[in-house]
């Protein structure tokens, strides 16, 4: 059974610092354990990075790929999706 307040937990997800020169961190507060699929896309829609992330109940943080420094400056999109189909897209800027 899914509680109403847990249905939208990915809306609290954030990425910081933003804009970023160094690899930014993803922050997610989750009411329960979930498995997230993280995908990073450039402005043209090309997927640059993907990873699975097992989050725990509470605050979770994870660094975006260390390859961040090798990517050109510009806009990127970070997709977070859980096993229940909940999805959140975050935009970030590489300086």
Ordered domains of the chain (ranges, CATH): 4-94 (2.60.40.3080)
What pLDDT shows up at residue 5? 47
- Whether the per-residue pLDDT at 66 is higher than 90: the answer is no
Residue 1: the pLDDT is 36
Residue 23 has pLDDT above 70, yes or no: yes
* Predicted local confidence at residue 6, as pLDDT: 53
pLDDT at 7: 59
* % the chain with pLDDT above 70: 93
The pLDDT value given to residue 85: 92
Sign of CA dihedral 94, 44, 12, 86: negative
Distance in angstroms (rounded) separating the CA atoms of residues 78 and 28: 13
Tokens 């970030």 locate to: 92
- Report, as an integer, the average pLDDT of 54-61: 96
How many other C-beta atoms are found inside a 10 Å radius of the C-beta of residue 34?
21
């Amino acid at each position: 059974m899914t509680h109403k307040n847990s249905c939208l937990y990915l809306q609290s997800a954030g990425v910081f610092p933003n804009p970023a020169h160094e690899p930014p961190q993803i922050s997610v507060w989750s009411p329960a354990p979930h498995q997230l699929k993280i995908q990073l896309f450039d402005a043209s829609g090309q997927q640059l990075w993907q990873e699975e992330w097992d989050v725990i109940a509470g605050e979770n943080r994870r660094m975006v790929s260390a390859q961040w420094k090798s990517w050109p400056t510009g806009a990127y999109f970070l997709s977070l999706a859980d096993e229940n189909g909940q999805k959140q897209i975050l935009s970030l800027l590489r300086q």
